[in-house]
Amino acid sequence: MLGLMRRVSISGSIPTSMLQQSLQRILPGLAILERGYSTLGKEMTVREALNSALDEEMSADPKVFLMGEEVGEYQGAYKITKGLLEKYGPERVLDTPITEAGFTGIGVGAAYYGLRPVVEFMTFNFSMQAIDHIINSAAKMNYMSAGNISVPIVFRGPNGAAAGVSSQHSQCYGAWYAHVPGLKVLSPYSSEDARGLLKAAIRDPDPVVFLENEILYGQSFPISDEVLDSSFCLPIGKAKIEREGKDVTITAFSKMVGYALQAAEVLSKEGISAEVINLRSLRPLDRAAINASVRKTTRLVTVEEGFPQHGIGAEICASVVEESFEYLDAPVERIAGADVPMPYAANLERLAVPQVDNIVNAVKRACFRSVPVAAAA
């Protein structure tokens, strides 16, 4: 656990003890992961993965430029763009005023002309100030113009809950953006995901919403030489089977993939073999992979951190019921954030987001195993 703490506090701005407490609340079984990775050779944090992807794509194509609050001289609010201003100069790494509607519109206009902007939102909560440009100016343009004007832009930044940042800074926007035709919506989990999907997003000719996760930035993952190559790229629209299993399918994206993997570990000790699907792409959604998995396991639990109503899990459940009804042996289960604005108090915050136990319980219900009565808060 301490080794991870040291890696996580690279940014230097959060006191280690506070970070330790926060992380213990949010990632209780993290020690399991760390032990698993220590023997595997090269490792890279998600932060390093994103930074290297940006660096390589900027190097490969002079039309790629970065724009956002504090991306330049501050080295990035979460240090994702560290070193890029020094390397590429102020014409290609632009610090903007705190005016999301204005700079997002400028970014989209630049993409209309043929540049390849990467617009950073300090968190996706602030993207709501610019959402008209993301949806109406970017997503719909290629269709409305019958292909005359395309929009090769990437909107990226941290999404979802962090730790103790309360209701206005904790929302997950996956469901909102994945709702819209014309957008591609990606959400990486591991460093391999971060590198491969961000590079794919920047090279893609369509507008991409790239939902990162602040807690994952400092997390380290093993990485192969293939992933480190500057030509490495992952396909958009394809999920990854993170862990094969035969009794139940668990779908997740971003941070929740880690939780799902921990739940799978716990479940395996109780004789339940869970298949964990890392969605990677929310739009397009890899319905083929999800349905193929459910047809094999006959049970489905969807996991997401965001609000439950009309969420990602709702779409996945509908897809499975539509395509694979006869294969289901149990009702589909959704695990999502509580249907409340995110509270600040530590105990309430813990109740508002999925924990590993919640996923384990859901799987057991889907397997018709008895589940311990929920303890009082």
Partner 1 sequence: MAMLSRLASRSSHLGRTLLLPRSLCCSTGGRHFASSAGDEGPTFTVETSVPFVGHRCEPPSREVETTAKELMGFFRDMSLMRRMEIAADALYKAKLIRGFCHLYDGQEAVAVGMEAAITRKDAIITAYRDHCIFLSRGGNLVETFAELMGRRAGCSNGKGGSMHFYKKEGGFFGGHGIVGAQVPLGCGLAFAQKYLREETVTFAMYGDGAANQGQLFEALNISALWDLPAILICENNHYGMGTAEWRAAKSPAYYKRGDYVPGLKVDGMDAFAVKQACKFAKEHALKNGPIILEMDTYRYHGHSMSDPGSTYRTRDEISNVRQERDPIERVRKLILLHDLVSAAELKDIEKEIRKEVDNAIAEAKESPLPDPSELFTDIFVKGCGTEVYGVERKENKILI
Q: Which residues are catalytic?
A: 100, 169
Q: Dihedrals φ, ψ of 251, to 5°?
A: -105, 145
- Which is nearer to partner 1, 107 or 218 (by Cβ)? 107
Nearer residue to partner 1 within complex by CB, 112 or 217: 112
CB of 107 to partner 1, least distance (A): 6
Between CA 271 and CA 92 the distance in angstroms is 54
Greatest extent of the chain over all pairs of C-alpha atoms, in Å: 61
Q: Smallest distance, Å, CB 152 to partner 1?
A: 8
Backbone region of residue 250 per phi and psi (left: phi > 0; alpha: psi in -120 to 50; beta: other values) = beta
CB-CB contact of 104 with 134 (8 Å) = yes
Q: Which residues bind partner 1 (CB under 8 A)?
A: 65, 91, 94, 96-97, 99, 101-115, 132-133, 136-137, 142-150, 152, 181-182, 184, 204-206, 235-238, 281, 284-287, 322
With 0-12 CB in 10 A as exposed, 13-18 as middle and 19+ as buried, what is 270?
exposed
Residue-wise DSSP of 8-49: HGGG--S-HHHHHHHHHHH-TTHHHHHHHHTTSS-EEEHHHH
Among candidates 163, 216, 162, 189, which has minimal Cα distance to 303? 189
CB of 290 to partner 1, least distance (A): 12
Closest CA to 123 of 92, 178, 78: 78
Instruction: Provide the minimum distance between the beta carbon of 105 and partner 1 in the complex, in angstroms, as a whole number.
Output: 2
* Closest distance to partner 1 from the beta carbon of 43 (Å): 30
